[in-house]
Amino acid sequence: MWACAWASSIIKDAYRSTVEEQVAKFLHIIGHNVKNRSVSFFFHRSGETVSRHFHNILNAILMLEGQFIKQADGIDVQPQILHNNRFFPYFKDCLGAIDGTHVCVKVPRANAPRFRGRKDWPTQNVFAACDLDMKFTYVLAGWEGTTSNSRILKEAFIGEDP
- The pLDDT, as a whole number, for residue 95 is 66
Q: What is the pLDDT at residue 66?
A: 72
Q: For residue 96, what are the contacts with CB-CB under 8 A and spacing of at least 6? A: 72, 129, 130, 131, 132, 137
This prediction has a pTM of 0.46
Nearest-angstrom CA–CA distance, 23 and 52: 12
Three-state secondary structure of 80-113 = HHHCCCCCHHHHCCCCEEEEEEEEECCCCCCCHH
User: Which pLDDT value is given to residue 141?
Assistant: 76
d(CA 26, CA 17): 13
Q: What is the pLDDT of residue 122?
A: 82
122 and 132 in contact (C-beta within 8 Å)?
A: no
Q: How far is CA 135 from CA 102, 117, 120, 138, in A?
A: 19, 28, 31, 9
In the prediction, which pLDDT does 1 show?
A: 47
Per-residue model confidence (pLDDT) at position 104:
79
CB 42 within 8 A of CB 32: no
Residue 5 pLDDT = 56
pLDDT tens sequence for the chain (162 residues): 455 455 456 777 877 888 888 888 888 888 887 888 888 888 888 888 888 888 888 888 878 777 776 665 656 666 777 777 777 767 766 666 777 777 777 878 887 777 777 667 788 878 788 777 777 777 877 777 777 767 777 777 776 555
